[in-house]
Chain A
Amino acid sequence: MKLYLRFIGIQIRSQMQYKASFLMTVIGQFMVSFTAFLGVYFLFARFHEVAGFTYREVLICFSVVLMSFSLAECFVRGFDIFPRLIRSGELDRILIRPRSEIFQVLASHIEFSRVGRLLQAVLMLAIAIPGSGIDWSAGRVLTLVLMILGGLAVYSGLFMLYAGISFFTIEGLEFMNIFTDGSREFGKYPLSVYGKGVLTFLTFVIPIALFQYYPLLYLVGRSPHAGLMLLPLCGFLFLIPCYAFFRFGLHRYKSTGS
């Protein structure tokens, strides 16, 4: 842990070397999510509600997804750009060091410019919460925290899966975008909006609904079952198969030698 903090320190210092570029990237990241937010805003100005959810409920949902996604992109960035680590031979250097590979990949890239996205997510919460009429008991606050953490776990798993696949092919990787970028894009609405089939798939195969849709029902008071707040924890179970797959790929890895 101490070592990880040192790595964080190094990464911050190195990224601060190019302050103007860093700032522009942060603003850019903010703008990307801000336009997505404007899209939601203008659609709601026209339609007022979607599948029974109000504007503020959707904003809370969007904010949770965006927050967990940007946290994952910040701290699990090493897996997100894993194909680059393979191609540049950086992975070979990682493999010969006496530390766990996972730790080194995590510590090798920490992308602080995602702060821009995080900011947008916080902003949306600030817009949504005052008028949402949610009764903020300790349980509801905990639900919100668990949703974000569960989301972080699921996205970390997805990035790890992505890294695992890149051991075998880099050509088909674009497909994974549906689950990573796609779920960020489409996760701004509660997943029930997309119909039963999609909801089932995103519950049992890629467990995005576990931290997004079900706990949201409890959070906004649509469902009385407090048990729903624990569902995001199942997101952590998703890490197990993803990790296993990554190990499997790593086991079969042969360096390109260059």
Chain B
Amino acid sequence: MKAYLSFFRIRFIAGLQYRAAAWAGVSTQFAWGGMNLLMFRAFWQQNPDAFPMTFSQLSTYIWLQQALLAMFMAWYFDDEIFSSVTTGGIAYELCRPCDLYAMWFTKNMATRLSKALLRCVPILLIAVFLPSPYRVTLPAGVAAGLLFPVSLLLGFLVLIAFSMLIYISAFYTLSPMGIRILATSVTEFFSGSLIPVPFFPAGLQTVMNVLPFASMQNTPFLIYIGYITPAQAPGYILVQLAWLAVLLLTGLLLMRHALRRVTVQGG
């Protein structure tokens, strides 16, 4: 356990070093969120009744999404891990007395968390002071505020457990580029990071809600804005837990299978 904690710490501290990049990221994400809001405003002006939530709820959703982007961005993968598999550097990792799955998992957590930490504060600070329907608001209630961090943590773990499957696929394909792009686009679409899930037709929403992707950013953000009421929240959190268990188990099994037959070519 101590070993993983220090992996976490090293990655976390390393991530905090890139401050200029973080500022560039903050302004990029701020502009991105702003454009997104302007786009939805045009749809809202077109027909406010067709909006599945209030505009203020949507603003909060979008700012949370931008602030915590680094936690949930589907396109981010640790290139070091992929290249360690394709170049054979994995041999060194396998000599270490720790579990590869857990090590990769903690590294990913640390990188994402440090990035998110640097970026979320400035974005939220500015977004609080925007004019009324466009600003980020407090959680919908005390219960929502208490349930949000639980669901956020679970969503974060679900996302990493899913991306672990993509890392592991590198053992089988050796050129993970295609699978990466495919997984990214599917995740982005079904997790509601392109368009929040409530904007989709009802039938599709039912499908989306049982897929693992909605358990990532969708559930915690919808709990925060009160779209998922505190009474409904436990059900959604159970789904998150179930997917986390399934994805972890699949990942561990696949990893064990892959490592049993892995050949590192010498040279």
Chain A residues packing against B (C-beta within 8 Å): 18, 20-21, 23-25, 27-29, 31-32, 34-36, 38-39, 42-43, 45-51, 169, 171-175, 177-178, 182, 186, 189, 193-195, 198
Contacts and interface: CB of A to CB of B under 8 A. Distances in A.
Given A46-B199, A50-B43, A194-B39, A173 B24 contact: yes
Contacts of A177: 28
A38 B23 CA distance: 32
B180 interface: yes
Interface residues of B, number: 38
Nearest to B30: A178
Interface of B: 18, 20-21, 23-25, 27-28, 31-32, 35, 38-39, 41-43, 45-47, 50, 175, 177-182, 184-186, 188-189, 194-195, 199-201, 204
A113 B18 CA distance: 32
Contacts of B199: 42-43, 46
A38 B188 CA distance: 12
A45 B188 CA distance: 20
Nearest to B41: A195
Contact of A48 (B18, B35, B47, B200): B47
A49 B27 CA distance: 31
A129 to B, nearest CB: 24
B20 A29 contact: no
Contacts of A25: 177-178, 181
A23 B137 CA distance: 45
13 contacts: A21-B177, A25-B178, A31-B182, A36-B194, A48-B47, A51-B46, A171-B20, A175-B27, A182-B28, A182-B32, A189-B42, A194-B42, A198-B38
Nearest to A32: B185
Contacts of A47: 43, 46-47, 50
A51 B40 CA distance: 11
Contact of A174 (B21, B42, B175): B21
Contact of A46 (B32, B50, B177): B50
Contacts, number: 111
Contact of A42 (B23, B47, B179, B204): B204
Contacts of B181: 24-25, 28-29, 31-32
Given A171-B20, A175-B24, A189-B39, A28 B194 contact: no
Contacts of B189: 35, 38-39
Contacts of B194: 35-36, 39
A171 B21 contact: yes
Given A28-B182, A36-B194, A42-B199, A186 B46 contact: no
Contacts of A34: 185
A177 B195 CA distance: 19
Contacts of B38: 193-195, 198
A50 B41 CA distance: 10
Given A28-B182, A42-B201, A174 B28 contact: yes
Nearest to A192: B42
B178 A21 contact: yes
Contacts of B204: 42
Most A C-beta atoms less than 10 A away, residue of B23, B181, B189: B181
Contacts of A20: 175, 178
Contacts of B21: 171-172, 174
